[in-house]
Structure 1
């Protein structure tokens, strides 16, 4: 389903675009997949009912990590995303020895329903189930048919070090590859999609192996404005609270 010939023919341009992008390395690829197959996949996409556990810092966001068996087209897309060929492309453009997490831990299909939003945040760094896997890239394939800017939901990027920002549109069949690091803030504002339409994406994550831990392991690090003091307080408490919960009860995300 992925148009590998196109990716490989333009890999040098994509590498430069990724590495030189501001506010931090990222890349938007339009037409990643064969259009007719992706439309057929979208037509068979069920409405999701498993709500995200980010109750305070997100709204109306639903997810399903185990999507590969929904249909033969989902299986084909899953296999392409996990393939050595796609992995080689990611390694080339990022200049890092990355690989895709085949379990799609924390990823899979994401559906933002009416009025959804996702506060700015920095992702967890080390994989909860593989302590030497360091999260390096976010892979976000958007399935928003006939998306318009007034619907909102653009992917917002911000460099925590400098405050530099960028907004990226989320039309159908666009893949955004984004560096994830301790300074790579991202999220999206509250949406206003037409009734019956959702902000829909398939999210995957690429990791690299670390021989030694270079950062203190963290969960999601939320960043909210000074105009929301209660949220700001909860954001400071979030990481230690989740770590305690995971020690006592295990990772709910991993179980899902």
Structure 2
């Protein structure tokens, strides 16, 4: 039995939520969690559906729609756009943008008026290969094409029989980067939902070290609200450094932000780092 029941396991379509209260039993725990609101739900979707997603991962190809990163802060990471997937999996991602799924997310988080992203900007299927990692960071906060404020992340893991020793655990850190509060192993069909703010520090900084060289895979979904206004400062991904680690600072982003804050736009546009 999965947490989310579907009327069509081929596409991932949920029944209309109507007045259903599924998710509200988690709201208090979600908002009381440290270091920021979050919840971990195992057996989130029917396993056969995610088995199908995992099988498709063997056919993923890096094309013009994929985004690949290989630098000190995000090593051997690729994000695959949902619109490049097989039709059944495209339908699954479209169901994640449907009213029933959004209602479930609102029930869990207590955040009303959530808006999905039809562009899947930064979302999709994420893969990190052997030796890769994603440093602790706070995500970009502004969906510029839609002028929306980013509010929650939903991660659904696709990793069979994954052990902590294989690396890739999701770490949640406090705002000051002094304490790691959570260390979540990315197990198959485990879903992690959390608030996204400029201070929600998270990542999987320990390199992937699977004995058979299998990559770490996940579904990543982001949701927004129409609360963006001129009082907020838009920023890209903000990487952090764990105390006592060999993590590298992202000086390029820091310098670009400093340039844009201190220089007139006509001059800032001419400077490249």
Cα distance, 1:19 vs. partner? 1.2
Report whether the alignment pairs 1:118 with 2:134. Answer: yes
TM-score by length of 2: 0.79
Report the 3-state secondary structure (helix = DSSP H, G, I; strand = E; otherwise coil) of the residue aligned with 1:44. Answer: helix
Cα distance, 1:58 vs. partner? 0.9
Cα distance, 1:194 vs. partner? 3.0
Report the 3-state secondary structure (helix = DSSP H, G, I; strand = E; otherwise coil) of the residue aligned with 1:75. Answer: helix
Instruction: Show the counterpart of 2:172.
Output: 157
* Aligned counterparts of 2:85 and 2:126: Cα–Cα separation in 1: 14
Cα distance, 1:240 vs. partner? 5.4
Report the structure, 1 or 2, having the larger helix content.
Answer: 1
Instruction: Show the counterpart of 1:127.
Output: 143
Instruction: Show the counterpart of 2:202.
Output: 186
Match of 1:38 among 30, 46, 50: 50
* Aligned counterparts of 1:241 and 1:106: Cα–Cα separation in 2: 25
Q: Are the counterparts in 2 of residues 41 and 73 from structure 1 also a CA contact under 8 Å? A: no
* Aligned counterparts of 2:177 and 2:69: Cα–Cα separation in 1: 30
Cα distance, 1:231 vs. partner? 2.9
Report the 3-state secondary structure (helix = DSSP H, G, I; strand = E; otherwise coil) of the residue aligned with 1:100. Answer: coil
Root-mean-square deviation (CA, aligned residues, Å) is 2.9
Relative to structure 1, is the Cα distance of residues 69 and 19 closer, same or farther in structure 2, using a 3 angstrom cutoff? same
Report the 3-state secondary structure (helix = DSSP H, G, I; strand = E; otherwise coil) of the residue aligned with 2:229. Answer: coil
Cα distance, 1:196 vs. partner? 4.1
Relative to structure 1, is the Cα distance of residues 146 and 34 closer, same or farther in structure 2, using a 3 angstrom cutoff? same
Cα distance, 1:163 vs. partner? 3.5
* Aligned counterparts of 2:239 and 2:22: Cα–Cα separation in 1: 35
Q: Are the counterparts in 1 of residues 42 and 190 from structure 2 also a CA contact under 8 Å? A: yes
Instruction: Show the counterpart of 1:237.
Output: 255
Relative to structure 1, is the Cα distance of residues 228 and 170 closer, same or farther in structure 2, using a 3 angstrom cutoff? closer
Q: Are the counterparts in 2 of residues 37 and 73 from structure 1 also a CA contact under 8 Å? A: no
Q: What does 1:158-177 align with in structure 2 at a 5 Å threshold?
A: 158-161=173-176, 163-165=178-180, 166-177=182-193
Of residues 2-11 and 100-109 in structure 1, the stretch that sits farther from structure 2 once superposed is 2-11
Report whether the alignment pairs 1:28 with 2:30. Answer: no
Q: Are the counterparts in 1 of residues 154 and 192 from structure 2 also a CA contact under 8 Å? A: yes
Larger Rg: 2
Cα distance, 1:42 vs. partner? 1.2
Instruction: Show the counterpart of 1:3.
Output: 5
Report whether the alignment pairs 1:200 with 2:227. Answer: no
Cα distance, 1:16 vs. partner? 2.1
After superposition, what is the alpha-carbon deviation per residue over 1:159-186, rounded to whole angstroms, capped at 9, x for unaligned?
Answer: 2147342111210111111111111101
Relative to structure 1, is the Cα distance of residues 211 and 126 closer, same or farther in structure 2, using a 3 angstrom cutoff? closer
Of residues 75-84 and 52-61 in structure 1, the stretch that sits farther from structure 2 once superposed is 52-61
Instruction: Show the counterpart of 1:147.
Output: 162
